[in-house]
Structure 1
Amino acid sequence: MPKLSAKRQITIPARQCKELGIQPGDEIDSFIVDGRITLIKKHKGAAKGFLKHVKAKQDISDDDSLQSAL
């Protein structure tokens, strides 16, 4: 059974990694729902086009936009 290390790291059993196609170096995202941690393998390009419906405001410069975010 995996244990949490002093650095808050968990080793995922090899069998589970193989089943999910997770390899050393893969990026993993995690989130909590109803008291359970879920791990998701990130896929390059998965969010491509996600914000395509957002229209840029042409009257605001990049610098002004950055300052308003701070």
Structure 2
Amino acid sequence: MPKVSAKRQITLPVEQCRVAGIGPGDEYQCFVDGEGHITIIKKAPGAARGILKGLKSNPKLSDEESLQSSLNK
């Protein structure tokens, strides 16, 4: 079983990397949920391209107001 190093580094098992398509030098994102579970996701170049396409903006809203309106949906 892999262990966390003194520098807080984690070595991922080769088979898990193979299944996830993760290789040396790949970038990833890491998330922790409220129960302490860690999720690692490989970044894919261009994955978010076009995600905001067609979204209408309201220049009268501040960033904070825009964020709150998104969270209230």
TM-score (norm 1): 0.70
CA radius of gyration, larger in? 1
Deviations 1:9-65 (A, max 9, x none): 1000011111111110110100011320000001000111223325485xxxxxxxx
Once residues 15 and 55 of structure 1 are traced to their aligned partners in structure 2, the CA distance between those partners, rounded to angstroms, is: 44
Alignment match, 1:19: 19
One-letter amino acid matched to 2:28: I
> Could you list the runs of 5+ residues in structure 2 that have no partner in the other structure?
60-73
1:4 aligns with 2:20: no
One-letter amino acid matched to 1:35: G
What is the aligned length?
57
1:51 aligns with 2:52: yes
TM-score (norm 2): 0.67
Once residues 10 and 38 of structure 1 are traced to their aligned partners in structure 2, the CA distance between those partners, rounded to angstroms, is: 13
Once residues 57 and 50 of structure 2 are traced to their aligned partners in structure 1, the CA distance between those partners, rounded to angstroms, is: 13
Identity over aligned pairs, percent: 56
One-letter amino acid matched to 1:51: L
Once residues 4 and 37 of structure 2 are traced to their aligned partners in structure 1, the CA distance between those partners, rounded to angstroms, is: 15
Once residues 24 and 50 of structure 2 are traced to their aligned partners in structure 1, the CA distance between those partners, rounded to angstroms, is: 28
